[in-house]
Structure 1
Amino acid sequence: MAASRKAPSILGFPHRPELGPAAHRKAVAGHLRRCREHAGIAPPKAARFINISAATLSRMENGKAVFKATEVERLFDAYGVRDPLERARIDELVQEAAKPEAWQPYANAVPTLLRPLLAMEPAARRIISYEPQLVPGWLQTEEYAEIVIRAAHPTKPAREIEERVAVRVRRIEMLRRAETPPVLLAVMDSEVFRRQVGTPGVMYRQIQHLLALLEELPYQLHLQIAPLTVGAAGAIGHPVVHLRFFTPEYLPDMVYLEQYEGAVYQEKPAESERYQAILNNLCGVANPVEQTPALLEQALASWR
């Protein structure tokens, strides 16, 4: 029965370092799981081929641990994958998957629950973000970010605050890269511009920064402002980020739900589609992107 089905292929997932190691790791993991299932081999038996436990194999097949190149070769042998093109591509992806994540130099400062988002967002084709209380992290100035982070973590040492700020303000660089940058559609509640973060000068410079980014990144950044009149559509109450990737057949949509003391990730299709619909509804009732510069200019005048 297994032989009658078309064998899974990894050739549709390109080796693209700009997508980040995590995307390559997840693509490898999912492909090896599909190869095992196609071969009709149960996890405990597959695990014995590379001398690990079935629990460890499960972690690896879910992208939570990295496959070694030698392990992939042995599993491909066991699964009957002989095509040299398939084996060459998976070898490239495994090597990329083993590289350090962008956040790892700041590992002591980056919260564990934020790491999957930071690791996967460079691989996104499109990001939709809703922020009800603050300017989204990608778009914050350094001084705005420092005040926000210090307010949330008043007991953290200055060095850790500095590192968290550095990680946050560097996230915008993925929109500036030359190779397939993501598109960011950010929706902010209008009250974000009434809520004073720091001094009026901080707010003034933050809004100036948003205007400058819209001019600099007209194709990569789209910003909408949701007025209070959106009613229930804007009553989500917490930040939401929906990621759609360049290769959805290998990387399913990811939803990040931020909470005060943590975060939740959703990757099941039913949940990601539900949040996609919620965000689509919010985008539909928020002020159009064409009105954003004028609305920002109004907000700027209020802090002048």
Structure 2
Amino acid sequence: MAAEREAPSILGFPHRPEWGAAAHRKALAGHLRRCRDHAGIGPRQAARCINASESTISRMENGLAALKQAEVEQLLDVYGVRDEPERRRIADLVHEAAQPEPWQPYAHAAPPLLRPLLAMEPAARRIISYEPQLVPGWLQTEEYAEIVIRAAHPTRPAKEIAERVNLRRQRIEMLRRQVDPPVLLAVMDSEVFRRQVGTPGVMYRQIKYLLALLEELRCRLYLQIAPLSVGAVGAIGHPIVHLRFFTPEYLPDMVYLEQYEGAQYREKPSESERYQAVLNNLCGVASPAAQTPALLQAALATWR
């Protein structure tokens, strides 16, 4: 007789408020889908149990719908989830999933296509970023960020520009967390430090800020600079961000691909692995992180 399948468990996903609402919602969404599959119940039957539509179940199981405690408890009853520690952990995750997202204080300024990245990056264990044109957003000074944002959105009102700058500037705070901060590895083309943004003074202060961050955030922030001599390996042309999470069994890798008027996300393992390989190649041909302070000092001298 075949052994009974082991029931899925969510106990491996901790209740971690600092990871943000989206991570809890996404982990719980996948767990609800696994519980339904384990119980042998179809989406339509599950929907009838909470007087909802099949599309509502689909949205709940993809992390796209708000999770209501009463509805989740009803589904757990139908799915045969009786274990009290499991149900307590699920209740904690439902509560955390309902908290404000990091971008919500800046809702008018946060581009909708950027919101999934902003929501998930606090839960990352490791972030790899490639930027061919500019200093990555996490690492920009206020004046550098304002010039870049205003250049991309020249018709936006000053208040919105200021909100976008504040949103961009606050993202670095996750690296200052006392408990399990993400590690950020940022790869930039050497041309980033030759391309003038604003005045020479803006560039000088931006590079000084990078040097200060490297000193402050040791073992949390690594910068690599890719020279033009890397050739085709570095000819990506657009920014890439690859997120890897503390709990990959609940949260798969996420890839963010930025474009001039939009963005795309990739979460299928085959796609995230492909972009991981691209970034690994870039890291391999860029100057080692240990050389970055000297390279930044040399770049600083050109903007005195």
Give the TM-score normalised by the residue count of structure 2. 0.99
- SS of the residue aligned with 1:303? coil
Aligned partner of 1:278 in structure 2 is 278
CA distance in 1, matches of 2:245, 2:170: 20
> CA deviation digits over 1:29-61, x for unaligned, max 9?
000000001111111111111111111111111
Q: CA deviation at 1:3?
A: 8.0
Structure 1 residues 177-192: aligned runs within 5 Å:
177-192=177-192
> CA deviation digits over 1:209-238, x for unaligned, max 9?
000000000110000000001111111100
**Aligned partner letter, 1:30:** G
Aligned partner of 1:269 in structure 2 is 269
Aligned partner of 1:49 in structure 2 is 49
Structure 1 residues 1-304: aligned runs within 5 Å:
4-304=4-304
CA distance in 2, matches of 1:171, 1:101: 13
CA distance in 2, matches of 1:80, 1:2: 20
- SS of the residue aligned with 2:280? helix
Alpha carbon RMSD of aligned pairs, Å? 1.0
> CA deviation digits over 1:163-203, x for unaligned, max 9?
00000011000000111100000000000000000000000
- Aligned identity (percent) is 80
CA distance in 1, matches of 2:171, 2:159: 19
Q: 1:28 to 1:300 in 2, by over 3 A?
A: same
Q: 1:29 to 1:3 in 2, by over 3 A?
A: farther
CA distance in 1, matches of 2:261, 2:57: 30
- SS of the residue aligned with 1:242? strand
CA distance in 2, matches of 1:198, 1:205: 11
CA distance in 2, matches of 1:183, 1:2: 44
CA distance in 2, matches of 1:28, 1:66: 11
CA distance in 2, matches of 1:23, 1:195: 36
Contact 1:2/1:38 (CA < 8 Å) preserved in 2? no
**Aligned partner letter, 1:15:** H
Q: CA deviation at 1:65?
A: 1.1
> CA deviation digits over 1:58-82, x for unaligned, max 9?
1111001121111110000000000
> CA deviation digits over 1:215-262, x for unaligned, max 9?
000110000000001111111100000000000000000000000001
CA distance in 2, matches of 1:65, 1:132: 35
Contact 1:2/1:40 (CA < 8 Å) preserved in 2? no
CA distance in 2, matches of 1:290, 1:151: 33
Contact 1:253/1:272 (CA < 8 Å) preserved in 2? yes
**Aligned partner letter, 1:193:** F
Contact 1:7/1:38 (CA < 8 Å) preserved in 2? yes
Q: CA deviation at 1:2?
A: 10
Contact 1:2/1:39 (CA < 8 Å) preserved in 2? no
CA distance in 2, matches of 1:303, 1:170: 26
CA distance in 2, matches of 1:2, 1:243: 39
Q: CA deviation at 1:149?
A: 0.2
- SS of the residue aligned with 1:172? helix
Contact 1:69/1:94 (CA < 8 Å) preserved in 2? yes
Structure 1, gaps ≥5 residues long = none
Structure 2, gaps ≥5 residues long = none
**Aligned partner letter, 2:61:** E
